[in-house]
Structure 1
Amino acid sequence: MTTDTPLYLRVAEELRARIESGELTPGTRLPSVAELIQEYGGSNSVASRAYKLLVDDGLVVSRHGAGHYVRSTDSPELLVRQHRRRSEDSPFAQGAAEQGAVGTWRHESTTDRASEAVAARLAIAAGDAVMHTSYVYLADDKPVQLAESWEPLALTGQSLIALPEVGPYAGVGVAARMRVLGIEVGDPVERVRARQATRQEAQALGMTPPGPVLAVERTYYDQATGRPVESADVVMRGDRWVSVYGQVPGGV
């Protein structure tokens, strides 16, 4: 590097050297944009371009609203999505708690008309009334998962579970809510694929730049009748989740 080297490259290289030498250890919060400007001079764009370079190189992670951190090579923030029958609590909240994180979520529910795709998944007619709920799931206040859920109002509309996150059964999983109606749903059927996050998903999940996600099309069925009772599109950060199927014999 010389004095003719652009300032953002010099800033990036100094941070890179401190990371690679071990001076800045995995998980360390890096200086804010304002702190970098104070130390090196220049403008916001200098610090932002330096961090973008380090993020693109895989050395740094950007957390929306929380700053920049040294990336860990062994993914200490990895969350395990375990496929097993859970208690009455929210599967997300329980799973996060088992891994030492606090699981919370934001939600918005509205009545809607089923599109042809949603109607096919719920075995109802296009245009039938559904409850549509949008979720942003957070682990320790950091967004890690999104979901769009649909339930036929012909099934839930006259019950206490019509609004998934309001009332005496708010905050529990689909299985526990459907049990209020005398329906046992068992394990959901899921179709899982990996793809690149859309721009909107990346923004909601704090992914800069947009990266891979696990996209899950999930449907719960009434075990007695085979009727679909809830279907959802779940999107999980590919750098935060590993999905585990099956169980070791004996529960080990």
Structure 2
Amino acid sequence: MGASGSARPAPYLHIARLLRDRVVSGVWNVGDRLPSRAALSAEFGVGDNVVRRAQETLIAEGLLEGRAGSGTYVRMPRRRGVLSRTTSGSRSPAPAGFTGTWEARSIAKVPAGPEAAVRLGIGHSDLCVVTMYEFLTDSQPVLLATSYEPMTVTGGSIVVLPEGGPLAGHGVVARMGHLGITITRIVEVPRPTRLDRGQAHMLGLATGAQATLIERTHYADDGRAVESADWVVPGDLWDITYTIAPNPLVT
């Protein structure tokens, strides 16, 4: 028979309780930055991984948030937003109705890779412009996207960089229109996913938190896929709504 008595909680749960108590008791207030992970490890006499798991537990509870390049903070309650997906699309890189700001970084001549290549109908090694977006509210990233555009479509033009040149910030439809390409169809495929460590760190959420991956692809009137993007929509922050116009010919 096993030893009697209750089992002790895992070390990270014990540390999570100690950290939680400091927030609840007012030792740390909303917006306060926690001591570094190394400092907490030394204080509690545990390893760095134990403190990390304790912090991730409290991030998942909504009590703390991580800020990329800054540290871990007592979290201000974050309101859920509504991510509107409509048949009319958006005239900017941001989703319809999004009122925040965004930051973008583009890299040219990057191989498409297997997943983007399938959606774009090109070879895995065919070159693309890859643009990483962070959409922010109150300076905090709340939504992530990565866009792929074949160099054979935009290469050598003034719109080769989505966020550079005279049409920066105008969105895929306007930029392709400048090249004489008419977008007639946008296909979105939502899939359940979980945040990896890098995504969670940027969003201030827990690694493994639930999210929706929306694979969105723009098609031209000749059937070509001219852009495809992966949107990472954290479930803690967004409700996704689809507005679909009725077909008057369908009764």
TM-score for the superposition, normalised by structure 2: 0.72
Written as runs of structure 1 = structure 2, the 5 A alignment for 1:1-252 is 11-12=18-19, 14-15=21-22, 17-18=24-25, 28-30=30-32, 32-33=34-35, 42=43, 52=55, 55=58, 58-64=61-67, 65=70, 67-70=72-75, 72=77, 76-84=78-86, 85=88, 88-92=91-95, 95-97=97-99, 102-186=100-184, 188-222=186-220, 224-246=221-243
Q: CA deviation at 1:115?
A: 2.7
Q: Match for 1:233: what amino acid?
A: D
**Secondary structure at the residue paired with 1:106?**
strand
Q: Match for 2:120: what amino acid?
A: L
Q: Is the 8 A contact 1:188 1:220 kept in 2?
A: yes
Per-residue deviation, residues 12-55 of structure 1 (Å, max 9, x unmatched) = 46446558xxxx99xx4356438xx9xxxx46979x67972871
Q: CA deviation at 1:138?
A: 2.1
Tell me, in whole angstroms, the C-alpha distance in 2 between the residues paired with 1:89 and 1:187.
16
**Secondary structure at the residue paired with 1:178?**
helix
Q: CA deviation at 1:151?
A: 1.0
* RMSD between superposed Cα atoms in Å: 3.7
Q: Match for 1:244: what amino acid?
A: T
Tell me, in whole angstroms, the C-alpha distance in 2 between the residues paired with 1:130 and 1:49.
37
Distance 1:69 1:188, change over 3 A: farther
Q: Runs of 5+ in structure 2 lacking a partner? A: 1-10, 247-251
Tell me, in whole angstroms, the C-alpha distance in 1 between the residues paired with 2:122 and 2:193.
29
**Secondary structure at the residue paired with 2:116?**
helix
Tell me, in whole angstroms, the C-alpha distance in 2 between the residues paired with 1:83 and 1:229.
20
